[in-house]
Amino acid sequence: MDLQEGQEQPKEHIDLPQSENKGLVWLKNLFIIIALLLVISASFWISFNLGKKILTPVKKEPIRTLSVEEYIQVAPTEEMIAVYEDLKAETKKVEPKAVKKALKPRGTLYRVIAGTYGTKGSAQSVVATLKSSGIDSFVVKRSGKYAVQAGAYRSKKNAQNQQNKLLKLGFSARIVDP
């Protein structure tokens, strides 16, 4: 296109008038940032509370604690005494005489012996077999031999029940008095 005299050459870039104030632009941007932060915070809060409700662990039954009388139904081993001492330290302070009296067996205890062995290794393998059958036992050295004790009871009837269990498993179980 030919330009005539007095005509301006057309501009390729058109500038729009800037009618907005710089303060208003800054305020608008600040509002957008605050709105985005609120949306992000709300989404984290919702997901946290939803996760807390969904992932709440199952409540476990409380562990039953034994009274001193129940605890000494079985003759205490060194390990049991150590556990008792730890528990005692965590609970209220008890007089030393009371602890010794509680741990000292009262009356007759009927000990159930699953068998007597010449070597400690043989006795320990029997202990492992008994434990795999669900019977707690331990090795006691008596008269130069190793006896596998599977419980000590105040009641002779309870000792006989334990002896019968061991006899059914094929052990030559016997009851001994102290």
pLDDT tens digit sequence for 18-64: 556 787 888 899 999 999 999 999 999 999 888 887 776 656 666 76
Of 111, 107, 105, the C-alpha closest to 72 is 105
List residues bridging with 175 in a β-sheet: 112
Q: Please report whether residue 16 resides in a domain.
A: no
Q: Which domain holds residue 74?
A: 69-106
Q: Tell me how many domains the chain contains.
A: 2
| pLDDT tens per residue, range 54-111 | 776 656 666 767 666 665 565 566 666 677 677 766 665 555 665 555 555 566 788 8
Looking at the structure, do residues 121 and 165 belong to the same domain, yes or no?
A: yes
Residue owning tokens 């303060």 = 23
Does residue 142 carry a pLDDT above 90? no
pLDDT at res. 41:
95
Q: Please report whether residue 159 resides in a domain.
A: yes
Looking at the structure, do residues 128 and 167 belong to the same domain, yes or no?
A: yes
End-to-end CA gap in the chain:
128
For residues 102 and 68, is the Cβ–Cβ distance under 8 A? yes
Looking at the structure, do residues 129 and 172 belong to the same domain, yes or no?
A: yes
Distance between CA atoms of residues 28 and 34, nearest Å: 10
Q: Please report whether residue 76 resides in a domain.
A: yes
Looking at the structure, do residues 99 and 147 belong to the same domain, yes or no?
A: no
